[in-house]
Amino acid sequence: MSELLKVTDLSVHFPVRTRGVWRKTVGRVVAVDNVSFSIARGETLGLVGESGSGKTTLGLAILRGTQPTGGRVELTTASGTIDVTTLDKQALRDARRHFQMIFQDPYSSLNARMTVRDIIAEPLVARRNQKLDRKAIDQRVVEIAEQCGLNREQLRRYPHAFSGGQRQRIAIARALVLHPDLVVCDEPTSSLDVSIQAQILNLLAELQERLGLTYLFIAHDLAAMAYVCDRVAVMYLGQIVEIGATRDVYFTPRHPYTEALMSSVPEPDPSAPLQPMLLQGERPDPANPPSGCRFRTRCRYATELCATTPPVPVEIAPNHFAACHYAKELSLKGALALRNVGQEKVAE
């Protein structure tokens, strides 16, 4: 499989300023810290982490929705390789057709004063160097809307007439209307009901297959994530602590944080009782992260080494990386393995 996206040492820092007129910079929050990974064409990479882990900022930085402080984001499309971080305003605008985003809340991401047709057509209209006539635009809008499960009739209406799930379909149609290569999905189902969440997850999978899309799927729902992702990256305080095939990361985690995360997922099965591996304390302030390994203050396995030396990611198994000094020695438990009954089920 060819590589579509290659992210190298990407960092995003936000200044911490004092109040008042001078707004003196007194520190910085390292929201994303030297993150590197790649996504193959047609693949789905999941980005999981708790609030404040930097996963949304990372997604935005890849699209230049926020300006990265350092690093490279290379996108290889049919028309060549571009470094997204160095594009000027006009070039970025042209390049945006290759990468699009779907947001969490379809109630705030759609303009209430535009018809569904105009919302979906907007990216086509905004392209200055490739003007389409009205007929061509209409044709494309109808085509993508139907692929997203909307009918021609609904295109004349306004967003308020639609439920959350249907609004998310409109947002997906808008993201896909320009035939993008990469779609960043930022919590696309978090605000939806269970029965509707399944519709959207299945729609995204179906569209991926049909249109050859590549997804960066940001979420905190680990079960939904397992359902759609080929590989998963786990973030903690701005860094990727573990990355690998979904199955490997979920069932044979190599980072203590991943173990804690997996043990906390309540499975909808009363015979698989939850035994959360409780983390000590709370997430540290990202503006003032711990020395050495950032997770050490909550880690049950931490030693003195962890306080002094930041761990580097090591390849523990093929394509399975973890940034932990003890990744090779620790025998960590994966999702379901902590639960007696669950274990039998997995073994079946």
Partner 1 sequence: MASAQSVLDVTDLSIALGQDGARIPITEDVSFSIGRGEVLALVGESGSGKSITALALMQLLSRSLFIAKGRVLLRAADGFETDIAALGRDGKAIEAIRGARMGMIFQEPMSSFSPIHTIGAQIAEVVQIHERVSRQVARARAAELLAKVGIPDPKGALDRYPSEFSGGMRQRAMIARALICSPSLLIADEPTTALDVTIQGQILDLLRKLQRELGMAILFITHDLGIVAQMADRVAIMYAGRIVESGPVGEMFGHPAHPYTRALLAAVPRLGDLDHRRKIKPIAGSVPNIFDAPSGCRFHPRCPVADPARCASQLPPVHARGAHAVACIHGKTELPA
Give the binding site for partner 1 (CB under 8 A): 50-51, 163-166, 193-199, 201-202, 220-224, 226-227, 246-247, 250-251, 260-274, 276, 278-279, 282-283, 335-336, 342, 345-346
Report residue 321: phi and psi, to 5°: -115, 145
Three-state secondary structure of 215-227: EEEEECCHHHHHH
Shortest Å distance, C-beta 239 to partner 1: 17
CB of 208 to partner 1, least distance (A): 15
Q: Name which of 80 and 268 has its Cβ closer to partner 1.
A: 268
Specify the residue, 59 or 334, whose C-beta has the smaller distance to partner 1. 334
Give the E-state strand segments of 147-209 in sequence order.
182-186
- Owner of token pair 């308020």: 160
Least CB distance to partner 1 at residue 45 (A): 16
- Our CB check for partner 1 shows the closer of 96 and 169 to be 169
Nearest approach, Cβ of residue 196 and partner 1 (Å): 6
Euclidean distance between CA atoms 303 and 306, whole angstroms = 5
Shortest Å, Cβ 150 to partner 1: 13
Quick one: 42 or 164, whose CB is closer to partner 1? Answer: 164
Q: At what angle do helices 134-147 and 194-211 cross, to 10 degrees?
A: 120
Q: What is the smallest separation between the CB atom of 15 and partner 1, expressed in angstroms?
A: 22
Residues 40, 140: Cα–Cα separation, whole Å: 27
CB of 154 to partner 1, least distance (A): 13
Q: Which amino acid is at 13?
A: H
Beta bridge partners of 217: 46, 185
End-to-end, the C-alpha distance of the chain in Å comes to 32
Q: Which is nearer to partner 1, 184 or 226 (CB)?
A: 226
DSSP 61-72: HHTTSS--SEEE
In the complex with partner 1, the residue whose CB is nearer, 241 or 336, is 336
| Residue 86: partners with Cβ closer than 8 Å, 6 or more residues away | none
The nearest distance, CB 348 to partner 1, in angstroms, is 8
User: Is the dihedral angle over the CA atoms 74, 75, 79, 82 positive or is it negative?
Assistant: negative
In the DSSP assignment, the letter for residue 158 is -
Nearest CB to partner 1, comparing residues 99 and 236: 236
Considering the complex, state which of residue 15 and residue 276 has its C-beta at the smaller distance from partner 1. Answer: 276
The β-bridge partners of 215 are: 44, 183
Q: How many Å is the maximal CA-CA distance in the chain? A: 68
Contact 262, 335 (CB under 8 A): yes
Shortest separation between residue 83's beta carbon and partner 1, angstroms: 34
Q: Which is nearer to partner 1, 136 or 274 (CB)?
A: 274
60 CA to centre of own chain:
9
- Count the Cβ atoms, other than its own, within 10 Å of residue 323: 23
